[in-house]
Chain A
């Protein structure tokens, strides 16, 4: 429970800050900036949420808890999956908390149940992708700080994407980066789904990014884990 509060507080602060401080100055072409902002905020919340997984895993490793589990008659991969499932559940709860706060701030969506399911699906895949990256970080870190440091660049990624301002306003090279990184397609798909617009190929791009990262990170995480046996 403590974790949910710690994890959601930063994204909620960002949301308040962007809506009430910058909101008036940002031209997004929509009349409701909270609607525009919410997908990016959810991604930031996931990025900071998974750093907790890295931290827990690092502690488990340091305290000998992984060794204890590995000397027991349970599947060795079950230990990693336990952390991954915990991460999925706690990120789901954080997401719900943030959506509730957004509703209070004026977030409205005409989306039906199918669109919401699709949004949940994309966010779940994104969480899985980042969680497996967190597993690698937790297993290879040398210090507690090192274990969560990997998440800082990921938390930062939404800022160089269409999450807060349209990429049109960005200068050349930044814009190229912003338009071609995973966050933009994920944010774009979620935004389209929540506002009942057609999603186009963006959603396939988002899915490809997520699945690609999951496969690669899962493979590397298994390798990092084997090193500890």
Chain B
């Protein structure tokens, strides 16, 4: 396999919190444009892996590259290639859905923030609710806005930490459709989920 077909590569990743080992040598590779699921029980260390891969935490030892860039030596380049959707919807409830998206587009220095926001609102069926504050959104709408915010700027690799937790079956199906569409478009999707039957 040639190098640029691999989006994420992890070798011998170790991490402890104080003296409690959480990751004791993790290895895996994720192909570009694929969907990679990291399954595990609560407390298994899924969020820890996502935080390391998204440059929020430093590993104790081991190597990892994202989009070909080494996490330790080139975290800035990694941040340019990724987006993170954390375990809890990270939307600013004081702002409207549209304002949240415009804020992300401005932070990523895109040239037409208004247009980017408009397109994403449409794609995630949030056009009608666009000008209400996110505080009034349902759990499913919040999650959709959250994922939409992650897609601003078209990152090549996206991390989703338990994207369907707390959603009803309909909401889950919607999220999986989004994930599928992203991968079909060439984006690498890395997601975590608690290992429960309800996943399916």
Chain A positions within 8 Å of B, measured between CB atoms, are: 56, 59-60, 63-65, 67-74, 229
On whether the beta carbons of A68 and B76 are closer than 8 Å, the reply is: no
Of B51, B82, B89, B90, chain A has the most CB atoms within 10 Å of the CB of: B90
On whether the beta carbons of B82 and A71 are closer than 8 Å, the reply is: yes
Q: Is B88 in contact with chain A by the CB < 8 A criterion?
A: yes
On whether the beta carbons of B107 and A63 are closer than 8 Å, the reply is: no
Q: A71-B84, A74-B107, A229-B56 are in contact. Are A65 and B90 (CB under 8 A)?
A: yes
CA distance A63 to B84 in the complex (A): 13
Q: A72-B79, A73-B79, A73-B80 are in contact. Are A67 and B107 (CB under 8 A)?
A: no
On whether the beta carbons of B107 and A69 are closer than 8 Å, the reply is: yes
SS class, residues of chain B in contact with chain A: loop
Determine the chain A residues whose CB is within 8 A of the CB of B79 once the complex forms: 71-73
CA distance A72 to B55 in the complex (A): 9
Q: Is B91 in contact with chain A by the CB < 8 A criterion?
A: yes
Determine the chain B residues whose CB is within 8 A of the CB of A72 once the complex forms: 79, 83, 107-108
Counting chain B residues whose Cβ lies within 8 A of the other chain, the interface size class is 20 to 34
On whether the beta carbons of A63 and B91 are closer than 8 Å, the reply is: yes
On whether the beta carbons of A64 and B88 are closer than 8 Å, the reply is: yes
Determine the chain B residues whose CB is within 8 A of the CB of A69 once the complex forms: 107
Chain B positions within 8 Å of A, measured between CB atoms, are: 51, 54-57, 76, 79-80, 82-94, 107-108, 149-150
On whether the beta carbons of B80 and A70 are closer than 8 Å, the reply is: no
Give me 23 A-to-B residue pairs in the complex whose CB atoms sit less than 8 angstroms apart, sorted by A's number.
A63-B88, A63-B92, A64-B88, A64-B89, A64-B90, A67-B54, A67-B56, A67-B84, A67-B86, A67-B90, A68-B84, A68-B85, A68-B86, A68-B149, A70-B56, A71-B56, A71-B82, A71-B84, A72-B79, A72-B107, A72-B108, A73-B76, A74-B107
Name the residue of chain A whose CB is nearest to the CB of B155: A72
Q: Which 5 A-B pairs have the closest CB atoms?
A: A64-B86, A64-B90, A71-B84, A71-B54, A73-B79
